[in-house]
Amino acid sequence: MNDSPVYTPPKVWQWNKDNGGRFANINRPTAGATHDKELPVGHHPLQLYSLGTPNGVKVTIMLEELLALGHQGAEYDAWLIRISDGDQFGSGFVAVNPNSKIPALVDRSTSTPIRVFESGAILLYLAEKFGAFLPTEVGARAECFSWLFWQMGSAPFLGGGFGHFYAYAPTKIEYAIDRYAMEVKRQLDVLDRRLAQAPYLAGNDYTIADMAVWPWYGALAKGLIYEAGEFLQVNAYANVQRWTDTIAARSAVKRGRMVNRISGEPAEQLLERHDAGDFDTKTHDKMGQG
C-alpha cells in the first residue's frame, strides 16, 4: 500500500472550502437556499426539475415509458438544473427539494400542487399514480420494492464512494479506491446472480426497479461512468450485460436518456423537453450548437 500523509483529525471539524475535490465549489456543510430564484412552470401536468445524470435519467425514462403506454397525464416539462452552477440552491428549487439535489418533481394536476423529491419516491409516486411498472401480485411487488430500495442504498457506494475516489478526488488514495472497488464488484455480482434467475430485477416484468438500477449499473457495465470498465472487469458480469442491452434497446429509454443531458453527442442532448416533438427538432445539434 502507498504511504499516504498521516492526518490527525482536529477536535472540531473545520470547513476547508477549497479542498480540491471536483465539486468543491458546490459542496458545503449547510442546507437551505443561497439565493432567491423562482422555478419556471410550463403547461403540462408534471413539472420536472432535473439534469441528465443517472439519478435524473431514472425519472425521464419512467415518464417516457408512461407516455409510450398512452398515459397522456404523464406529459411533462423538463427544466434544466445546472448543479455545477448551483441552481439547486435557488429558493424555488429548495422549496421543491429541501435536500437540494436533482431530480425534483411537481405534480400540478392535483388541486394543490404536490412536490416529490428523491428519485425512488418519484418513481413510486408515478407508478402508483398511473398504475404502471409496479407489479400488483404481492410477491413480485415486494421484489420490486426490494430492488428499488437496494439501488437507493447501494448507489451511494458506487457514486459517492468508488466514483469519487477513483475519478474525482484530488489525490488517488489506494485504501479508499480498494475499499469501494471491492464493494462495487460485490454489488455487480449481486445483480449478476439475480439476473441469472430472472430477466428483470422484480421477475418476468420490466419495472421501476430496473429503471432505478439501470442508469447507474448499466452505465457502469458499459464503462460509461468513471472510465472504470477495464479496472472493474465489467464484461465478466454476463447477466448484467444482457439486461443492460435489453433495456438500452427500448425506445422510451433512448428518449429518456436524452432529456436534460448536457454532455456527449449534441444530437443526443435535449437540454429541455416541453413536447414530444422536441426529440426531433430541439436537440443540441439542431439548436445551432452542434
Nearer to ligand GSH, 211 or 247 (CB): 211
β-bridge pairing 46-50 and 76-80: parallel
Question: How many other C-beta atoms can be found within 10 angstroms of the C-beta atom of residue 194?
Answer: 20
> Residue 77, SS3?
strand
Minimum gap (Å) between residue 212 Cβ and ligand GSH: 8
Strand partners, 259: 270
> Residue 99, SS3?
coil
Query: Per CB under 6 A, does 207 bind ligand GSH?
Result: no
Minimum gap (Å) between residue 210 Cβ and ligand GSH: 15
Site for ligand GSH in 162-201 (CB under 6 A): none
Place of cell 445546472: 82
Q: How far is residue 19 CA from its own chain's centroid? A: 25
Minimum gap (Å) between residue 233 Cβ and ligand GSH: 25
Size of the residue set binding ligand GSH (CB under 6 A): 12
Nearer to ligand GSH, 203 or 226 (CB): 226
Distances (CA, A) of 16 to 24, 169, 194: 9, 15, 43
Minimum gap (Å) between residue 138 Cβ and ligand GSH: 26
Minimum gap (Å) between residue 100 Cβ and ligand GSH: 5
Nearer to ligand GSH, 101 or 194 (CB): 101
Nearer to ligand GSH, 122 or 203 (CB): 122
Nearer to ligand GSH, 55 or 283 (CB): 55
Nearer to ligand GSH, 40 or 156 (CB): 156
d(CA 101, CA 117): 8
* Residues listed for the chain: 290
Distances (CA, A) of 190 to 23, 151, 259: 30, 11, 30
Q: Could you say which of 47, 55, 154, 269 contacts ligand GSH (CB under 6 A)?
A: 55
Minimum gap (Å) between residue 107 Cβ and ligand GSH: 16
- Within 8 A by CB and 6+ apart from 33, the residues are 89, 90, 91, 93, 94
Q: Which of 133, 125, 276 is nearest to 211 (CA)?
A: 133
Minimum gap (Å) between residue 235 Cβ and ligand GSH: 26
Site for ligand GSH in 20-49 (CB under 6 A): 26
Nearer to ligand GSH, 26 or 173 (CB): 26
Query: Per CB under 6 A, does 53 bind ligand GSH?
Result: yes
Half-sphere exposure of 128 (CA within 13 A, CB side): 8
Minimum gap (Å) between residue 126 Cβ and ligand GSH: 14
Q: Where are the alpha helices (DSSP H) in the chain?
A: 54-68, 91-96, 119-130, 138-156, 174-197, 208-213, 219-221, 229-232, 238-248, 251-258, 278-281
Q: Going residue by residue from 91 to 120, which x/- string records binding to ligand GSH, judged by CB under 6 A?
A: ---------xxxx--------------xxx
Nearer to ligand GSH, 35 or 43 (CB): 35
Using CB under 6 A as the criterion, which residues of the chain lie in contact with ligand GSH when the complex forms? 26, 53, 55, 83, 88, 100-103, 118-120
